[in-house]
């Protein structure tokens, strides 16, 4: 006689989490043959020299486990880049760790420092992984809105959110989804605000090289006070057009990195070896990341020019590869309903800004991704102009 095991009822660790809006909109785009400007990844190939570098590493026999913290040549290349660009010297041995993408890096940083009952300030709208990461760590996310429409940090509201239980604050510049860029003054104000506290900063800087119009990326590593209390997170996937490789890194002072690596070694241990060595070799030439801003600024300008004569109002885009639009002149639908209609009826997929707010917040805004081939953007613009001219 056989019996069938019936799993017992489970208490979800993330009861509020369902299918993400990115998955929903991408599936809808595929179903309706829409141009997918929703999810944030390129539809073009990376530099063939990077593929050659990874292939060469494989053929050199670099296919076994690397050190837990990452291949030393890559950590040394990262340290050199950060020192050159931002003026802060990180020790490759004790202050840099290669991660399986930025999302894993952020989760690991949160798990390393957040304990049950701790509070973490999250600035909305925000990347959708922050909140669940905090919940998994047993903490509580304290959502503080950025200033509506301008998406600048509201330091009075951040100050009001600080309590003795505040363990960390997550910041993101250049910002997803709004494409705003923090200024040097913003960083100085944050440093002054945190000076009397023990609050740790988790700085999501994955779009660090996508800053436009002569602005400067204000990395936490440019500001000694902030660098001393920060996990800096970045992404090779975003920088080199290889989001599917899922490789990033974290830089932090040694005492923070000790705790980070305790968690890192048990959730991924390490990252695939040949890609790390290929990236290290490729980074010997800084041109690809130094020219990334002008590469994407041209695409931004192309996309904005194509929308200029439509009834969609363009919000400023200072960084990242996203463009938000105000659609209030063309529709009264909610943001999610508008994006679904845009996908099914116009044939262009976008993401509602409300999806980036805890509990949602309606502003009649939608986000497009312009990290696409020119012909992809041209097709999207043709469809948008046909509907909204």
Contact 174, 208 (CB under 8 A): yes
- Give dist(CA 252, CA 125) in Å, integer: 25
**Size of the chain, expressed as the number of residues it contains:** 389
Q: Which long-range contacts (C-beta less than 8 Å, at least 24 apart) are formed by 44-53?
A: 44/241, 44/372, 44/373, 45/241, 46/240, 46/241, 46/242, 47/240, 47/241, 47/282, 47/288, 49/282, 50/240, 50/242, 50/278, 50/279, 50/282, 53/277, 53/278, 53/279, 53/281, 53/282
Fold match between 21-40+290-388 and 48-285?
Answer: no
Per-residue pLDDT, 164: 97
- Fold designation for 21-40+290-388: 3.90.1150
Q: Among positive and negative, which fits the CA dihedral 23, 24, 28, 34?
A: negative
What are residue 119's DSSP bridge partners? 140, 166
Per-residue pLDDT, 360: 87
- Fold designation for 48-285: 3.40.640
> Which residue stretches of the chain have pLDDT < 50?
none
Contact 250, 231 (CB under 8 A): yes
Domain assignments of the chain as residue spans, ordered by start: 21-40+290-388, 48-285
pTM for the structure as a whole: 0.96
């Amino acid at each position: 006689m056989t019996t069938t095991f019936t799993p017992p009822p489970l208490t979800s660790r993330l009861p509020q989490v369902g299918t993400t809006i990115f998955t929903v909109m991408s599936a809808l785009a595929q179903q309706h043959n829409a141009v997918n400007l929703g999810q944030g990844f390129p539809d073009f190939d990376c530099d063939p020299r990077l593929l050659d570098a990874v292939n060469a590493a494989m053929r050199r026999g670099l296919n076994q486990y690397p050190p837990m913290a990452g291949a030393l040549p890559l950590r040394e290349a990262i340290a050199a880049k950060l020192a050159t660009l931002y003026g802060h010297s990180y020790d490759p041995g004790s202050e840099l760790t290669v991660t399986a993408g930025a999302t894993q890096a952020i989760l690991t940083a949160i798990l390393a420092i957040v304990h049950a009952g701790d509070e973490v300030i999250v600035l909305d709208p925000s990347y959708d992984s922050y909140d669940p990461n905090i919940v998994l760590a047993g903490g509580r996310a304290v959502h503080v809105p950025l200033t509506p429409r301008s998406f600048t940090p509201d330091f009075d509201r951040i100050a009001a959110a600080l309590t003795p239980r505040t363990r960390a604050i997550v910041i993101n510049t250049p910002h997803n989804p709004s494409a705003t860029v923090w200024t040097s003054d913003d960083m100085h104000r944050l440093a002054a605000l945190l000076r009397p506290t023990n609050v740790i900063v988790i700085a999501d800087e994955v779009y660090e090289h996508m800053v436009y119009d002569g602005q400067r990326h204000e990395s936490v590593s440019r500001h000694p006070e902030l660098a001393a209390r920060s996990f800096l997170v970045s992404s090779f996937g975003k920088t080199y057009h290889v989001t599917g490789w899922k490789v990033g890194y974290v830089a932090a002072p040694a005492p923070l990195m000790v705790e980070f690596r305790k968690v890192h070694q048990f959730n991924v241990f390490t990252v695939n070896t040949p890609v790390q060595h290929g990236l290290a070799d490729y980074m010997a030439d800084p041109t690809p990341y130094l020219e990334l801003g002008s590469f994407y600024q041209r695409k931004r300008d192309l996309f904005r020019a194509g929308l200029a004569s439509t009834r969609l109002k363009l919000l400023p885009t200072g960084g990242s590869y996203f463009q938000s639009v105000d659609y209030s002149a063309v529709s009264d639908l909610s943001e999610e309903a508008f994006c679904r209609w845009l996908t099914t009826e116009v044939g262009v997929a976008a993401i509602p800004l409300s999806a980036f707010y805890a509990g949602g917040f309606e502003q009649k805004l939608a986000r497009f991704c312009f990290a696409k081939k020119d012909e992809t953007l041209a097709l999207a613009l043709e469809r948008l102009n046909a509907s909204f001219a």
